[in-house]
Each structure stands twice: as C-alpha cells, then as structure tokens.
C-alpha cells in the first residue's frame, strides 16, 4: 500500500505541475496528500473487506503503512529538491552537457559561488524565511530557524562538529 501511495503521489504531483499549472511546492504538498488518501482508503478497504472489523491489528498496520508512506514521500520530496538545489546534481548535469569533461576552473565559471548564494538568498526571501531591511538580512521566526538549530545539534551529536570547516 505505501508503494501504491507513493505511485499516486508521484503521478498526481507531475499532473498537477504540468497540466494544472501548479507551482512546484504546492504540487508536492498536494501530491503527498493524495498519496496519503490512497494509502488510507486502500488499507482500510482491504483490511475491512477481509476481516470485517476494526481491531488493534488494523490500527497498527495502518499506522505503520502511513509512516512508511511518509518516509517514502519525504524521499521523493528530497529527490525533487536535489534536482532543484543540489550542487552535486548541478555539477553532474554541467559535466554531462559539456560532453568532453570540464576542468575545475570551467566548472566554477559555469556554476559560481555567487550563483549559489544569490539563488538561496532569493529562495529564503521568497519563502519569508529571512527578511531584508536597509541592505541587511534578518531571520524570521520561521521553520528554517528551528531546522537550522536542529541540524547544528545533529551535526554536533553525530559528527562532533558543526560544519565541514570546524
């Protein structure tokens, strides 16, 4: 069921994006929700048609499948995100399109640190994660703030450092 839900998620997201002209993020959220409905109803229908009663086993099964679906949906979201924002993916695509390989200098000419910064600043401003006042940037009390703090804690816990440099 979670795999069917993921299939429904992917297909509906693509349809919403290409044919219903949704923006990327709303299409991802709607696709995820539609996939969730598929998991919920297919699981309920299959179980109830076989056993004809709601039991603890049914609740456990449904909950587990919803968690699995959520995890797979999270992976799909990040697959799309990697294509949108991933630096490794962008460099791979540059190398693929160049055909004959690229030197480090050629890679940096096609994809500069300035472009990386500008694109992310724009995204952070567009999504209101940060705001700009008198040419200076400030963080909004947003989800990004908590994600950043969580990631710093996770880095310190697992890797023992908060960035690649220190």
User: Segment contacting another protein (CB under 8 A): 29-37, 39-47, 48-56, 118-126?
Assistant: 118-126
Binding to another protein, residues 49-108 (CB under 8 A): 64, 67-68, 71-72, 74-75, 78-80, 82-96, 100-104, 107-108
Alpha carbons 69 and 8: distance in angstroms, whole number: 11
User: Segment contacting another protein (CB under 8 A): 35-43, 47-55, 144-152?
Assistant: 144-152
3-state secondary structure of 62: helix
Query: Please, what is the minimum distance in Å from the beta carbon of residue 34 to another protein?
Result: 17
Task: Report the chain's C-alpha Rg in angstroms.
Answer: 21
Single out the residue of 116, 122, 125, 128 in contact with another protein (rule: CB under 8 A): 116
Query: Please, what is the minimum distance in Å from the beta carbon of residue 2 to another protein?
Result: 7
> Residues touching another protein: how many (CB under 8 A)?
73
CA distances from 154 to 85, 93, 98, 140, 146 (A): 21, 30, 37, 22, 12
3-state secondary structure of 90: helix
Report DSSP state, residue 136: E
User: Segment contacting another protein (CB under 8 A): 36-44, 48-56, 149-157?
Assistant: 149-157
Single out the residue of 7, 115, 125, 128 in contact with another protein (rule: CB under 8 A): 115
CB contact at 8 A, 117 and 87: no
């Amino acid at each position: 069921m979670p795999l069917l839900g993921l299939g429904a998620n992917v297909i509906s997201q693509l349809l919403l994006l290409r044919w219903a002209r949704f923006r990327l993020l709303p299409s991802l959220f709607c696709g995820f929700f539609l996939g969730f409905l598929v998991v919920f109803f297919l699981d309920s229908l299959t179980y109830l048609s076989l056993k004809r009663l709601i039991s603890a086993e049914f609740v456990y099964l449904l909950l587990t499948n919803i968690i699995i679906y959520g995890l797979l949906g999270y992976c799909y979201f990040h697959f799309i995100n990697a294509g949108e924002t991933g630096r490794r993916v962008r460099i791979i695509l540059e190398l693929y399109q160049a055909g004959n390989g690229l030197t480090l200098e050629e890679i940096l000419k096609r994809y500069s640190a300035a472009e990386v910064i500008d694109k992310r600043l724009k995204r952070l401003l567009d999504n209101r994660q940060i705001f700009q006042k008198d040419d200076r940037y400030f963080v909004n009390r947003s989800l990004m703030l908590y994600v950043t703090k969580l990631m710093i804690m996770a880095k310190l816990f697992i890797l023992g450092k908060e960035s690649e440099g220190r």
